[in-house]
């Protein structure tokens, strides 16, 4: 990874907050990330850590109540504060999103053919016929059989897995450069999850679409992502190559998360390991490290917020602790 | 579809029977009769009148006779309007109410619908609060206030339109009563459409549509309109049945020959057949409108269609 490469998407100090009764709710704080052409970047974190907010902010869809600051550059073009018409022209065309729950992301009143075709008709000025033809091709790409006939169906006539594949096809209609995946497998059965992940993997292999894959499932992320960002309470706390991060997590939170996964290669424990405590209230974030109240390695320096900094090679972590990964792991037991 | 209609038509029969029975019983239970008046009639005349209308028969025979006629679509002779059947009275009055009610509903739908949609896309702004405040006013102020006010302004002061009376086929006579009747319905519809549209626009599939980069107008019209229409349709069915059978206030204020007036004078005069007839007609209209509402649901929502 050289400095010469131009980022497809370059996010700096991105913050999103909403007005709340007890002061602003900080959904996202100072997030930096870079997405290169054809790359798949994973984002992991528990519910409410700001994963979905990150994706919505990238599309400018946080709503009028939200205060969004920082910088989002798409091929060098600043999107934050860009004209609404410019954002609308990019949405669905250059940057497309797959939502978490396919049953609510699809309009129950419209045939899926129409919903698939409308984006391409609007952005690519395709005729209805051509757009439906392309929709059928894409349904085939996401491994739906008899695609032409399915176009006439309504969302309620499809199974959950099929609906999610339809929304994936929908996101790909205009050949976007960036695909945002918001927990695309969370609402699905385990076997269907595997199918959908396989569809996503083969699409990435064929189209090379750069992907930002948000999930709380390490396994799902490992099948697609090459790099990973770990989020906690609206902040990126660790970033690095996925293999390195899994093998040697440097943030106590990442370490604790990985430790909480059931392992097939070890005897089944009586209880799964868990990180004690709760994530902080986003309206009353502590001044220092947000993870400190739950951290086994907490020490006085944690009262000051740690910045994300390089530790080993490309591996970044936001923690004052200088211990090696093995020692951090030991702290949990 | 045909089976659905047939099933609904069959299930309407017992409902109508109950309506007719209740109307018949309640009317005969009320004290007084159609030919009671201060002037005491000679017993022979009293008898001959009662015999002519079968009022001398036991009540159960009158009831069966009435049901028999009803089954043939005959609502019987009016007790008050000499030599006129209830069918004829309804045939005279109904077109007036249909013309005024239909026009009123059309105005209310177009005006209320667009106000509601506009307000929903600007929640909290003055284009939301002003029309919603006016709508509250429109719902609260009764017809017997607004209708004379309209007459005062447009018929008496400005002299643009006639103050009342009915000339079949004349839009100038139609306009004022229709507008008066439309006012409260416009207000209701604006409020219903506004809240339904706000709810529809907050649904996740609208956010998904925005993520596709579609223009706002497309999102509102293609994605949000149908779910917005659902609660409106359920309001419109009974409301339409209501306006079609006439508004007594509007008919009185504008001096219109609709059936709303027959209904009230009939009740006062114990005109048994007239009141029962109009009640049955109203019941049948409500049932028909509900079927129409269900058909509309099916047309709007494919999930409902699948169940029908």
Domain-wise residue ranges, chain A: 38-60+82-231, 251-330
Q: How confident is the model at residue A15 (pLDDT cuts 50, 70, 90)?
A: very high
> Which domain CATH number covers B201?
1.10.3720.10
| B91 lies in the same domain as B186 | yes
ipTM value: 0.86
| B145 lies in the same domain as B292 | no
% of chain B residues with pLDDT over 70: 99
pLDDT, residue B66, reads 86
Contact A167 B205 (CB under 8 A): no
Could you tell me whether strands A178-182 and A95-98 are parallel, antiparallel, or unpaired per DSSP bridges?
parallel
Q: Phi and psi of A25, rounded to 5°?
A: -90, 110
| B210 lies in the same domain as B125 | yes
Residue A317 contacts B, CB cutoff 8 Å: no
Say if B79 falls within a structural domain.
no
Pairwise CA distance, residues B147 & B157, whole Å? 14
Is the pLDDT assigned to residue B273 strictly greater than 70? yes
| B248 lies in the same domain as B274 | no
Range with the lowest mean pLDDT among A150-154, A241-245, A255-259, B82-86?
Answer: B82-86
Please check whether residue A239 is in contact with residue A308, taking contact to mean a CB–CB distance below 8 angstroms: yes
Is the pLDDT assigned to residue A267 strictly greater than 80? no
Residue A96 contacts B, CB cutoff 8 Å: yes
> Per the structure, how many domains does chain B have?
2
Q: How confident is the model at residue A98 (pLDDT cuts 50, 70, 90)?
A: very high
| B127 lies in the same domain as B237 | yes
pLDDT digits (tens, 9 = 90+) for B128-170: 888 888 888 888 888 888 888 888 888 888 888 887 778 777 7
Q: How far is A294 from chain B (nearest CA, A)?
A: 34
Mean pLDDT calculated for residue range A230-254: 91
Q: Which of B198, B204, B208 to mutate to test binding with chain A, by most A CBs within 10 Å of its CB? A: B208
| B226 lies in the same domain as B123 | yes
% of chain B residues with pLDDT over 90: 19
Q: Which residue has the tokens 């504060």?
A: A81
Which residues of A are less than 8 Å from B224 in CB distance? none
Residue B123 contacts A, CB cutoff 8 Å: no
| B228 lies in the same domain as B113 | yes
**CATH of span A38-60+82-231:** 3.40.50.300
Residue A153 contacts B, CB cutoff 8 Å: no
Residue in chain A nearest B303 by alpha carbon: A156
Say if B265 falls within a structural domain.
no
Residue A1 contacts B, CB cutoff 8 Å: no
Pairwise CA distance, residues A145 & A139, whole Å? 8
Residue in chain A nearest B301 by alpha carbon: A109
Q: Which residue has the tokens 């007594």?
A: B248
Q: How far is B125 from chain A (nearest CA, A)?
A: 13
Pairwise CA distance, residues B116 & B121, whole Å? 9
User: What number of residues does chain A have?
Assistant: 333
Residue B302 contacts A, CB cutoff 8 Å: yes
Helix (H, G, I), strand (E, B) or coil at A212: strand
| B113 lies in the same domain as B230 | yes
B307 or A163, higher pLDDT? A163
Is the pLDDT assigned to residue B263 strictly greater than 70? yes
Residue A122 contacts B, CB cutoff 8 Å: yes
pLDDT, residue B268, reads 84
Please give the structure tokens belonging to residue B178.
């229709």
pLDDT, residue A72, reads 94
Which residue in A59, A87, A106 is closest to B205 by CB distance? A106
Pairwise CA distance, residues B26 & B30, whole Å? 6
Say if B80 falls within a structural domain.
no
pLDDT digits (tens, 9 = 90+) for A186-218: 878 888 888 889 989 999 999 999 999 999 888
Domain span at B300? 1-74+270-308
User: What number of residues does chain B have?
Assistant: 308
pLDDT, residue A270, reads 66
| B229 lies in the same domain as B296 | no
* Range with top average pLDDT, A1-5, A91-95, A292-296: A91-95
Q: Which residue has the tokens 């008496």?
A: B156
| B95 lies in the same domain as B206 | yes
Quick one: which H or E segment has residue A228?
strand A227-232
Which residues are within 8 A (CB) of B70 and not within 5 positions of it... i.e. 6 or more apart?
Answer: B20, B280
Contact A92 B205 (CB under 8 A): no
Q: How confident is the model at residue B107 (pLDDT cuts 50, 70, 90)?
A: very high
Residue A18 contacts B, CB cutoff 8 Å: no
Q: Which of A62, A98, A99, A107 to mutate to test binding with chain B, by most B CBs within 10 Å of its CB? A: A107
**Bridge-partner residues for A68, per DSSP?**
A16
Q: Maximum Cα–Cα distance for chain A, whole Å?
A: 66
Local structure of residue B173 (DSSP, 8 states): H
Is the pLDDT assigned to residue A59 strictly greater than 80? yes
Which residue in A59, A106, A118 is closest to B214 by CB distance? A118
Say if B12 falls within a structural domain.
yes
Please give the structure tokens belonging to residue A80.
């934050």
Which residue in B205, B215, B223 is closest to A104 by CB distance? B205
Please check whether residue A238 is in contact with residue A251, taking contact to mean a CB–CB distance below 8 angstroms: yes
Is the pLDDT assigned to residue A2 strictly greater than 50? no
| B281 lies in the same domain as B197 | no
pLDDT, residue A307, reads 86
pLDDT, residue A279, reads 84
pLDDT, residue A108, reads 92
Say if B110 falls within a structural domain.
yes
Is the pLDDT assigned to residue A4 strictly greater than 50? no
Residue A99 contacts B, CB cutoff 8 Å: yes
Which residue in B210, B212, B301 is closest to A109 by CB distance? B301
Pairwise CA distance, residues A248 & A227, whole Å? 14
How many CA atoms within 13 Å lie on the side-chain side of A169?
31
Q: Share the mean pLDDT of chain B.
A: 86
| B20 lies in the same domain as B150 | no
Which residues are within 8 A (CB) of A148 and not within 5 positions of it... i.e. 6 or more apart?
Answer: A136
């Amino acid at each position: 990874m050289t400095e010469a490469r131009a980022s497809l998407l370059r996010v700096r100090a991105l913050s999103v907050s909403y007005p709340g009764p007890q002061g602003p709710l900080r959904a996202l704080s100072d997030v930096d990330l870079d997405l290169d052409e054809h790359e798949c970047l994973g984002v992991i974190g528990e519910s409410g850590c700001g994963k979905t907010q990150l994706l919505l902010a990238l599309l400018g869809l946080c709503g009028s109540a939200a205060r969004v600051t920082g910088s989002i550059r798409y091929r060098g073009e600043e999107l934050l504060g860009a004209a609404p018409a410019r954002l609308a022209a990019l949405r669905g065309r250059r940057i497309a999103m797959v939502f978490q729950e396919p049953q609510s992301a699809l309009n129950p009143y419209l045939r899926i053919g129409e919903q698939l075709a409308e984006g391409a008709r609007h952005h690519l000025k395709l005729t209805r016929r051509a757009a439906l033809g392309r929709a059928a091709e894409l349904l085939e790409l996401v491994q739906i059989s008899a695609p032409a006939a399915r176009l006439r169906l309504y969302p309620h006539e499809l199974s959950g897995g099929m609906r999610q594949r339809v929304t994936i096809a929908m996101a790909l209609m205009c050949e976007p450069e960036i695909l945002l995946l918001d927990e695309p497998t969370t609402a699905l059965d385990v076997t269907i999850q595997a199918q959908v992940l396989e569809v996503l993997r083969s699409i990435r292999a064929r189209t090379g679409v750069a992907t930002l894959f948000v999930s709380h499932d390490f396994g799902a992320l490992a099948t697609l992502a090459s790099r990973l960002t770990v989020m906690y309470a609206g902040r990126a706390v660790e970033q690095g190559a996925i293999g390195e991060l899994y093998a040697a997590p440097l943030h106590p939170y990442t370490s604790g998360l990985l430790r909480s996964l059931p392992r097939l290669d070890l005897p089944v424990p009586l209880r799964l390991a868990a990180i004690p405590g709760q994530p902080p209230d986003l309206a009353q974030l502590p001044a220092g490290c947000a993870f400190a109240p739950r951290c086994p390695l907490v020490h006085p320096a944690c009262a000051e917020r740690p910045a994300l900094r390089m530790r080993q090679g490309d591996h970044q972590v936001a923690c004052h602790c200088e211990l090696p990964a093995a020692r951090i792991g030991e702290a949990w037991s | 579809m045909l089976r659905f209609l047939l099933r609904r038509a069959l299930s309407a029969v017992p409902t109508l029977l109950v309506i007719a029975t209740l109307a018949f019983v309640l009317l005969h239970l009320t004290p007084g009769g159609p030919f009671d008046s201060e002037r005491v009639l000679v017993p022979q005349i009293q008898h001959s009148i009662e015999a002519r209308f079968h009022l001398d028969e036991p009540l159960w025979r009158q009831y069966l006779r009435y049901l028999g006629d009803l089954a043939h679509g005959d609502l019987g002779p009016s007790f008050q309007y000499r030599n006129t059947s209830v069918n004829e009275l309804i045939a005279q009055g109904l077109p007036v109410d249909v013309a005024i009610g239909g026009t009123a509903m059309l105005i209310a739908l177009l005006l209320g619908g667009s106000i509601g949609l506009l307000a929903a896309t600007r929640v909290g702004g003055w284009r939301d609060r002003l029309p919603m405040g006016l709508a509250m006013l429109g719902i609260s102020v009764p017809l017997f206030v607004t209708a004379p006010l309209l007459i005062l302004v447009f018929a008496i002061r400005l002299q643009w339109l006639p103050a009342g009376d009915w000339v079949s086929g004349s839009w100038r006579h139609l306009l004022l009563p229709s507008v008066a009747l439309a006012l409260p319905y416009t207000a209701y519809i604006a409020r219903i459409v506004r809240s339904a549209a706000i709810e529809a626009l907050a649904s996740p599939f609208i956010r998904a549509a925005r993520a596709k980069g579609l223009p706002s107008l497309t999102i509102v019209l293609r994605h949000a309109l149908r779910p917005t229409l659902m609660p409106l349709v359920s309001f419109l069915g009974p409301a339409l049945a209501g306006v079609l059978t006439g508004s007594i206030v509007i008919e009185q204020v504008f001096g219109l020959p609709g059936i709303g007036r027959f209904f009230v004078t009939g009740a006062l005069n114990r005109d048994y057949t007239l009141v029962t007839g109009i009640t049955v007609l109203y019941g049948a209209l409500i049932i028909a409108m509900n079927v129409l509402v269900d058909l509309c649901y099916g047309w709007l929502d494919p999930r409902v269609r699948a169940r029908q």
